[in-house]
Amino acid sequence: MIFEAVGRLGSISRAAGELNLTQPAVSMQVKQLEEQVGLPLIDHAGKKLVLTEAGEELARHARELIAKMSDLKSAMKQHLSLECGILRIALISTMSFFLPRIVSDYVKRYPSVRISLQVDNHESVLAALLEKRTDLAIMGRPPDDASVVAHQFMDNPLVVVARPDHRLTTLARVPVDVLGEEAMIAREPGSGTQANIERFFAENGLEFRSSCEVNTNEAVKQAVAAGLGLGIVPLKTIALELETKRLAVLPVDGFPLMKHWFLLHRAEKRLPLAARAFCDLFLGKASNGGLEQRS
């Protein structure tokens, strides 16, 4: 720490002042360090102190060690309590229909933890996780990547929806080929739901005929209710629309298209205590059906 301050400040006297030490004490520490290393670490250009090449290398390692010690102190502090910290979660927009209730429970338990939520599509949420901009991600289909740990916590059946007065709602069974003849509401590029839909159409040799493109499942529901086409959405997000008869589920062959939701974190990262506490709460509720309950 003493040598790092000398190198950063370019002065023994300023380093002594910052560290509340005497100049002779700092000079002695630098001299002893040079003797241990066996190389000169500082040089003088007039009144200016400069580091030698070996000194620059040592200072770089010293800064890294200081940063690691700071991280260690922070980690140890988090082990003591959840009186501070931030919980960073990135989630796909579909998850917003139940996550606020879980976050509310978490905040009641840990009121001092600050919550940061990023709501986006599948592609952006995954990028936030892999680029270490979030601690946790909640999304569908995880990557085939050993660097990510994925906890499957809930089924995600996708269904085809239409306006209740659509001609197909009178059929007891809708052949899958019919979907290739109907106008469909599409999600934006990067959407996991849209990727699943396009994969299903391709596997069945169908053309996906998009009438418009929107960026949320809520917008898909609105577009379908307005008569712009058929939509494919998670069944768990349309309870209210089915109850109020604003939408109807079509009995299309091959549906529900069963997918799943996952809670993800990076395998190499030691989760902060705030994130581990959220994982325990979230997965605990998932295991006993607590995520299925609607307020």
pLDDT of residue 4: 82
pLDDT of residue 223: 96
Question: Is the model's pLDDT at 287 over the cut of 60?
Answer: yes
Question: Is the model's pLDDT at 57 over the cut of 80?
Answer: yes
pLDDT of residue 293: 47
Question: Is the model's pLDDT at 295 over the cut of 60?
Answer: no
33-65 burial, b for 16+ CB within 10 Å, e for fewer?
bbeeeeeebbeeeeeebebeeebeebbeebeee
Q: The domain 2-80 is classified under which CATH number: 2.60.40.10, 3.50.50.60, 1.10.10.10, 3.40.50.920?
A: 1.10.10.10
Q: Do domains 86-154+260-287 and 156-259 have the same CATH topology?
A: yes
187 burial level (CB within 10 Å; 0-12, 13-18, 19+): buried
- Cα→Cα distances 245→11, 49, 164, 193, Å: 76, 79, 7, 23
Under CATH, what is the fold of the domain 86-154+260-287? D-Maltodextrin-Binding Protein; domain 2 (3.40.190)
Average pLDDT of the segment spanning 43-66:
83
Over the chain, what is the mean pLDDT? 87
Question: Is the model's pLDDT at 30 over the cut of 90?
Answer: no
Question: Is the model's pLDDT at 79 over the cut of 60?
Answer: no
* pLDDT bucket at 206, cuts 50 / 70 / 90: very high
Under CATH, what is the fold of the domain 156-259? D-Maltodextrin-Binding Protein; domain 2 (3.40.190)
pLDDT of residue 112: 86
pLDDT tens digits along 145-160: 778 899 998 898 999 9
Q: How many percent of the chain have pLDDT more than 70?
A: 93
Domain ranges of the chain: 2-80, 86-154+260-287, 156-259
Query: Checking DSSP bridges between strand 209-214 and strand 183-187, what pairing results, if any?
Result: parallel
pLDDT of residue 233: 94
